[in-house]
Structure 1
Amino acid sequence: MTPITEVEGRRLTLSNLEKVIHPATGTTKGEILHYYATAADAILPHVRDRAVSFLRYPDGPDGQLFFTKNPPPGAPSWVRTASVPRSEDKNARQVVVDDLPSLVWAANLVVEFHVPQWRADAPAVADRMVFDLDPGSPATIAECCTVALWLRERLAADGLHAYAKTSGAKGMHILVPLEPTPSSKVSEYAKRLAVEGEAALPRLILHRMARSLRPGKVFVDHSQNAAAKTTAAPYTLRARTEPTVSTPLTWDEVEEGARAGTAADLVFRLGDIPPRLERHGDLLSPLTDPDQAGPLP
């Protein structure tokens, strides 16, 4: 029997709650839904009013994974969609996760949540900037921490405030709240900083994606600021062997990670998030506060 539950007045059909999604930890779909429901107050501000893309992994990280921007078949009529540009002459509709029922409905599909740097009512006008720090083995998240600290200082020199989170995979994301700015301008600035970083720390930072250059360095991926690109949302679970979460960090944790070197342990799973929220609140709340947004130089 498929359970039906009511969430804030919306009836939802939930399926396969006992199904193990992350075999390494025995994490079930029901536990994933519980995580999203309990962390919703932190998650929703970062996805609300944004066109969401989904990486679906209904049979776990070792099963079929597929990325979709289109509303999934069978989406309830009350799940909001927005018209967003897909190309110069074509618009399409995408899901917007505005509330708890929509979040639980999407989580029931077993997805990673990915969002652009702009809001659905202002496509290609970014209100935040992102740098995706991707370490090439044998570099680890420790090297990402060192790069993150350089970026924080460089951004501060331009009057911008930076915030850090784990990617939930092997790297980190640095996020910056911005006054609304065309995505093309943000992309240009982000690339310029990545190039500066490579010049300042040539043994550590790369601004180019070439695989042959990657070993032992951190690729500062500035490309996710392009209007068509998306980034894993704060607090989303990732389709990894264990139920890791893209988790906001304190700068003290980043500094400690840089000092710890290869021993840096900045991996957080779904069970770690409620106590972190109780201790820190949402460390990324400034991203959703217009008063914290700075002008792009």
Structure 2
Amino acid sequence: MSPAKQRVEIDGRTLSVSNLEKVLFPEVGFTKAQVIDYYVRIAPVLLPHVAGRPVTFTRWPDGVEGQTFFEKNSARHAPEWVRRVTIPSPGSSRGRETLDMVILESTADLAWAANLAALEVHVPQWRVDDDGQPALPDLLVLDLDPGQETGIAECCAVAERLGQRLEADGLDPVVKTSGSKGMQVYAPIEAPADREHPSRYAKQLAQELSAETPDDVVWRMEKALRPGKVLIDWSQNNPAKTTVAPYSLRARVGATVSTPIGWDEVDAVRDGSLDPAALRFTTDDVLARVEEYGDLFDVAGATRAPLPEG
């Protein structure tokens, strides 16, 4: 084995890792070894949120300043212990009828992915059933994307309103930063009437908030409409789409993390008592928060309710 490679044992699995000193985040000197270490340490709270969900990786083999690519069809180079599922391919996958995807279930699985420089982990709002077939969605997501001249403070104001609407509809929302510019509001849901029900419901919410405050909120995707406003991206509920998982690294300056936060933190930013910059978290920040607060994105412990008809 070359000096650049070594074998490690994690959770009873032996895997080969390589180029551990390679810097993947040059601006902070964050190496592949640190990426693997973070994913191993965050595994207890990350894994429940990706359990049963086919994973899409964003891989950065030469670091965040190099070329990147999305990878769905990743089972072909996975170790034998990693769970594989064959999923019907969405129309965007260049004519493939199926994708051979992986599901991350163990700390060793996360370490294998991190060694591929799969910096980001993205999952859909649905799981597979016991036969490996896509089940109906069990999560609703509203992705808040700030346009020019807006930021996390404006996102917090919109998130607060969305949280109130979801609670009024009997749902139990949780919230996290995107690890980039915005944030996401989620709610666990009972199996909907059909796969498109969450998209219809989310679109209606986005349209209502946009109609109430058209100077602050936009629901349409056109970039020309977005300066000075927060886009409520309801389309992430499309079964073919994925969203960055809680606790995933982001390929951004500073090696930031998509981090669950409390509604009290949203309120504090909204009322001006907390600097919006306080909602930008590094790996060390996130590990410390989990040790102090546990999993603030505990959808398993939240009330799961049906979506209103629509």
Match of 1:176 in 2: 187
Is the Cα contact below 8 Å between 2:75 and 2:84 reproduced in 1? no
Contact 2:159 2:185 in 1 (8 A): yes
Equivalent in 250, 253, 256 of residue 244 of structure 1: 256
Equivalent residue, structure 1, for 2:31: 28
Aligned to 1:279: 292
Q: Which of residues 281, 288, 292 in structure 1 aligns to 2:300?
A: 288
1:60 to 59, 63, 67: 63
Residue identity (%): 47
Aligned partner of residue 138 in structure 2, secondary structure: strand
- Backbone CA RMSD of aligned residues: 1.6
Contact in 1 for aligned 2:171/2:303 (Cα 8 Å) = no
| 1:86-130 Cα shifts (integer Å, max 9, x gaps) | 148933221100111111101111221000000022525100000
Instruction: Name the CA distance, whole Å, in 2 between partners of 1:232 and 1:87.
Output: 18
Aligned residue for 1:25, secondary structure, equals coil
What secondary structure does 2:191 align onto?
Answer: strand
Q: Answer whether contact 1:134 1:172 (CA < 8 A) is retained.
A: yes
Distance in structure 2 (CA, Å) of the matches to 1:74 and 1:190 = 37
Distance 1:58 1:260 in 2: 40
CA offsets 1:254-295 (integer angstroms, 9 cap, x no match):
11122239941110011111110011100111x234x62111
CA distance in 2, matches of 1:24, 1:73: 33
Whether contact under 8 Å (2:268, 2:274) holds in the other structure is: no
Q: 1:159 to 1:228 in 2, by over 3 A?
A: same
Equivalence map 1:1-297=2 (5 Å): 1=3, 2-71=5-74, 73-87=76-90, 90-111=97-118, 112-121=120-129, 123=134, 125-181=136-192, 182-260=194-272, 263-265=275-277, 266-285=279-298, 287-289=299-301, 292-297=303-308
Distance 1:251 1:135 in 2: 19
Residues 160/174 of structure 1: CA separation in 2 closer, same or farther (3 Å cut) = same
Aligned residue for 1:21, secondary structure, equals strand
Cα distance change on mapping 1:259 and 1:195 into 2, 3 Å: same
Contact persistence 2:75–2:101 (CA under 8 A): no
CA contact (8 A) 1:5 1:12 kept: yes
Runs of 5+ consecutive residues of structure 2 not aligned to the other structure: none
Give the C-alpha shift of residue 242 in structure 1: 1.4
The answer on whether the counterparts of 2:265 and 2:274 sit within 8 Å (CA) in structure 1 is no
Matched AA of 2:101? Q
Q: What's the offset of the Cα at 1:198? A: 0.3
Moved >3 Å (runs of 4+)? none
Task: Mark the runs of 5 or more structure 1 residues left unpaired by the alignment.
Answer: none
The structure-2 alpha-carbon separation of the partners of 1:124 and 1:226, relative to structure 1 and needing over 3 Å to count, comes to farther
Aligned residues: 295
Q: Alignment partner of 1:93: what SS?
A: strand
**Once the 2 structures are TM-superposed, how far is the Cα of residue 183 of structure 1 from its aligned partner?**
2.6
Alpha-carbon distance in structure 2 between the residues aligned to 1:151 and 1:212: 24
- 2:196 partner SS: helix
1:21 is displaced (CA, Å) by 0.8
CA contact (8 A) 1:140 1:262 kept: no
- The TM-score, its normalising length taken from structure 2, stands at 0.91
Contact 1:84 1:120 in 2 (8 A): no
Query: 1:162–1:176: 8 Å Cα contact kept in structure 2?
Result: yes
Deviates more, 1:219-228 or 1:3-12: 3-12
- For normalisation by structure 1, the TM-score amounts to 0.95
Matched letter for residue 110 of structure 2: L
